[in-house]
Amino acid sequence: MPPAIVARGLTRRFGHFTAVNDVSLQIEEGDIYGFLGPNGSGKTTLIRMLCGLLRPSSGSATVMGLDTVKESEQIKRAIGYMSQQFSLYRDLTVLENLKFYARIYGLRRSRARRRIEDVIGIVGIGDYRGHLARELSGGWRQRLALACSLVHEPRLMFLDEPTAGIDPVARRELWNLLFDLAGQGVTFFVTTHYMDEAERCSHIGYIYFSNLIVSGTPNELKQLPEVTPREAVRLEIRAPRLASAMRALNSFDYVLDATIFADSLHVLAQTNTEERLQRDLAREGFGEVQVIRIPPSLEDVFVTLTRKRDTDRAGTTAPAEAL
């Protein structure tokens, strides 16, 4: 089975600005590929190139074995796309929206009828068939949008921030839906800002300032040497007065980084300093604190990689600024 997506050196420039720089990645069928990165880092540009909407300035890509430039029309029939704003026709009913997309994809009457019932079943929107799209709540609109983009049975789905502005319950339900579909062999390319969503993906890519910094499974990413240097450990500390504890920790020279994480502190410190930490915190008046070794979270991964990238960039651009 060929990979669902293969990109080789994909680059897109707008004038002097490079929106996507030399991105190479491979996504297998059935993967849920989570694509993360700050706003304006090139996520949407990359998706537009993969969908065949935008020609790459250089490099190439195949989607479902089809070339994104030469075979973009066939790609459109093979993929589904759901944008962050759930682009539905608000003055059309649920059923009419589905019928419209079934027709746009050229489904024959009998198949259209069957597929519409199928996707209504998949997203569970049966009770709202006759409702206008504008009468639906955010969660139901998003399900309808998903149903519309599924109606032609795509084997690959692009979801651009599908859960932005959706309540937590609806988010969880959407992800359960995605897992069901992925189990049936549908590949997903999902952009998101939520770390808990990233954790659910089978593979993750992180794009920062137009460059794909890492790509791999969540576990591979957490074990990257750049994230947790050989001579350092990640610790979770439960202490009272978190904010002042963080300030105290950052003043210790063997602590590389300390951040508040919900009701605890995540600390990156030199190896074999756990006891010293407890001693020093006790001396600063925080009492007997609990210190546990933890694996890095995905957020740790991205924060560390972003910082490293920034220092690298600062290093390379400094001579230019000196001029």
Partner 1 sequence: MLWGIGAVIYKEFIHIVRDPITLFLMLLIPGIQLTIFGFAIDLEVKHIPTAVYNLDGRPESRQLVDAFVNSAYFKIVATPLSNDALVSSIVRGEAKIGLKIPPDYTDRLLLGQDVTVQLLIDGSDSTVAMQGLNVANAIALRQSLSIVSRSLNREQPPIELRPRVLFNPDMKTVNFMVPGLVGLVMQLVTMLLTAFAIVREKETGTLEQLMVTPVSRFGLMLGKLIPYACIGAIETTFVLSLMRFLFGVHIAGSLWLLAGFSLIFLFTTLGLGLLVSTIAENQVQAMQVAFVIILPSVLLSGFVFPQENMPKVIYWASQLIPLTYFIRILRGIIMRGAGFYDLWPQAAILAVIGLTVLVTSALRFRKTLS
Output the smallest distance, CB 185 to partner 1, in A. Answer: 21
In single-letter form, the type of residue at position 298 comes to: L
Output the smallest distance, CB 71 to partner 1, in A. Answer: 12
- What are the angstrom distances between the C-alpha of 46 and each of 3, 67, 262? 17, 15, 33
Site for partner 1 in 230-249 (CB under 8 A): none
Residues 6+ apart with CB under 8 A from 83: 160
Residue nearer to partner 1 on the CB measure, 101 or 206 = 101
For partner 1, the binding residue among 70, 103, 108, 129 (CB under 8 A) is 103
**Which of these ranges, 31-39, 98-106, 173-181, 223-231, lies near partner 1 under the rule CB under 8 A?**
98-106
Residue nearer to partner 1 on the CB measure, 95 or 289 = 95
254 belongs to the binding site for partner 1 (CB under 8 A)? no
Residue nearer to partner 1 on the CB measure, 90 or 238 = 90
Binding pattern for the stretch 26-55 against partner 1, x by CB under 8 A and - elsewhere: -------------------------x-xx-
81 belongs to the binding site for partner 1 (CB under 8 A)? yes
The owner of tokens 């880092």 is 41
Residues 105 and 207: their CA atoms lie apart, in Å, by 32
101 belongs to the binding site for partner 1 (CB under 8 A)? yes
Residues 323 and 15: their CA atoms lie apart, in Å, by 24
> Regarding beta strands 203-208 and 32-36, do their DSSP bridges make them parallel or antiparallel, or are they unpaired?
parallel
Residues 245 and 39: their CA atoms lie apart, in Å, by 32
For partner 1, the binding residue among 85, 176, 272, 290 (CB under 8 A) is 85
For partner 1, the binding residue among 87, 176, 217, 271 (CB under 8 A) is 87
Beta strands in the chain (DSSP E): 5-14, 17-27, 32-36, 58-63, 66-67, 79-82, 156-160, 187-191, 203-208, 211-216, 232-238, 255-261, 264-270, 290-293
Site for partner 1 in 136-195 (CB under 8 A): 158
108 belongs to the binding site for partner 1 (CB under 8 A)? no
Site for partner 1 in 295-314 (CB under 8 A): none
110 belongs to the binding site for partner 1 (CB under 8 A)? no
Helix (H, G, I), strand (E, B) or coil at 4: coil
Residue nearer to partner 1 on the CB measure, 73 or 321 = 73
Cβ pair 236, 264 in contact under 8 A: yes
Residues 6+ apart with CB under 8 A from 62: 2, 5, 6, 68
Cβ pair 144, 175 in contact under 8 A: no
Buried b (16+ CB within 10 A) or exposed e, 11-32: bbeeeeebbbbebebebebbbb
120 belongs to the binding site for partner 1 (CB under 8 A)? no
Binding pattern for the stretch 193-232 against partner 1, x by CB under 8 A and - elsewhere: ----------------------------------------
**Which of these ranges, 102-110, 234-242, 252-260, 309-317, lies near partner 1 under the rule CB under 8 A?**
102-110
For partner 1, the binding residue among 91, 263, 288, 321 (CB under 8 A) is 91
DSSP 113-145: HHHHHHHHHHHT-GGGTTSBGGGS-HHHHHHHH
The owner of tokens 């859960």 is 163
Residue nearer to partner 1 on the CB measure, 26 or 83 = 83
Query: Which residues sit at the interface with partner 1, rule CB under 8 A?
Result: 51, 53-54, 73, 76-77, 79, 81, 83, 85, 87-92, 96, 99-101, 103-106, 132, 158
